[in-house]
Amino acid sequence: MNDIPQQNDITLSLYADDTAILAQGKKFSTISNSFKKCIPKLESWLKRWKIQLNVEKTEAIIFSKYFKHCPEIKIYNTPVPWKKEIKYLRVILDRNLTFRPHITHIKEKYNKAFRAQYSLICRNSRLSIQNKLLIYQSYLRPILTYASPVWAFTAKSNFNIIQVLENTTIRMIMQAGWYIRKADIRNSTNIPSLKEFIIKLSDKFYSNINQIDNIEINNIPSYDSSLEKYRKRPRAILCT
């Protein structure tokens, strides 16, 4: 992979079977031209290494508050559709990076897993509360926290959607009535709130990033996440 085509105005990110071609600019035409220069080189490289690209799954997205018609981009003479949201490494990225579609996806995935485990963690289950909590922590909670250092700075209204899922699950496991406060239920479990747990994950994640020997990661600009103008960037979760 060391001979993969490089271009100053393009960043190539490869992980397993997923490849992302990134370009940035103030004008859509600038970004489009960068892609048009890069794609023929990439096509030649893929052909040389006999790597098959699934054109049908290839999509493009513009991360911008202002969206208008973008020039057509083709790969192997097939137009690449511009989307409002795409999935990369199981994370749904929308063009405004609100992560609302991803939160909705998490909710759907969690509910499906919850139904699969319901007979084990429901109020009538004979499992001990300790084992029920273990099922939640080891099987269900990872669904809520996957890639959370990336999206945890999402709006409070979005975050509350998944917090409700955890609250409902723990209330059922603890067989607590509707009149018992969430804080009292959580204190009895010794399990941190979802936000506290995600902050801990994020702190560890961003601390370890500095130790990774990767050119693209090292080129990520640093910023003070405590400043108001950076409150919509990922590290802002560490300041809440």
- CB count within 10 Å of CB 28 equals 17
Conformation bin of residue 198: beta by default, left when phi > 0, alpha when psi is -120 to 50: alpha
Query: Is residue 212 assigned to a domain?
Result: no
Query: Is residue 5 assigned to a domain?
Result: no
Query: Is residue 149 assigned to a domain?
Result: yes
More confident residue, 80 or 227: 80
Tokens representing residue 32 in the block:
């489009």
Same domain, 50 and 106: no
Query: Which of the listed residues 57, 83, 109 is the one where a domain comes to its end?
Result: 83
Same domain, 145 and 117: yes
In whole angstroms, what is the distance from residue 85 CA to residue 96 CA?
Answer: 9
> 187: part of which helix (H) or strand (E)?
helix 182-189
Same domain, 118 and 45: no
Which amino acid type is present at position 192?
P
Same domain, 99 and 179: yes
Same domain, 101 and 40: no
Query: Is residue 41 assigned to a domain?
Result: yes
Cβ atoms of residues 143 and 109 within 8 Å: yes
Same domain, 105 and 185: yes
DSSP, collapsed to helix, strand or coil, labels residue 92 as strand
Same domain, 190 and 155: yes
Same domain, 19 and 42: yes
Residue 24, CA distances (Å) to 63, 64, 211 in order: 9, 11, 26
Domain count, the chain: 2
In whole angstroms, what is the distance from residue 60 CA to residue 39 CA?
Answer: 13
What pLDDT was estimated at residue 226? 79
Query: Is residue 208 assigned to a domain?
Result: no
In whole angstroms, what is the distance from residue 98 CA to residue 229 CA?
Answer: 16
DSSP state of 121: H
Same domain, 106 and 63: no
In whole angstroms, what is the distance from residue 33 CA to residue 39 CA?
Answer: 10
Query: Is residue 156 assigned to a domain?
Result: yes
Cβ atoms of residues 121 and 173 within 8 Å: yes
Residue 51 phi, psi dihedral angles, 5° rounding: -100, 125
Per-residue model confidence as pLDDT tens digits over 132-187: 999 999 999 999 999 999 999 999 999 999 999 999 999 999 999 989 999 899 89
Per-residue model confidence as pLDDT tens digits over 175-230: 999 899 998 998 999 999 999 999 999 999 988 888 888 777 887 778 887 787 77
What pLDDT was estimated at residue 126? 94
Same domain, 156 and 183: yes
User: Closest by alpha carbon to 164, among 205, 114, 200?
Assistant: 114
The predicted model scores a pTM of: 0.89
Query: Is residue 18 assigned to a domain?
Result: yes
Query: Is residue 117 assigned to a domain?
Result: yes
Sign of CA dihedral 184, 188, 189, 192: positive
Cβ atoms of residues 9 and 21 within 8 Å: no
Per-residue model confidence as pLDDT tens digits over 118-131: 999 999 999 999 99
Domain, as residue range, for 141 = 94-202
Same domain, 127 and 41: no
Reported confidence tier of residue 83, pLDDT bands at 50, 70, 90: very high
Per-residue model confidence as pLDDT tens digits over 20-47: 999 988 888 888 889 889 999 999 998 9
Same domain, 105 and 174: yes
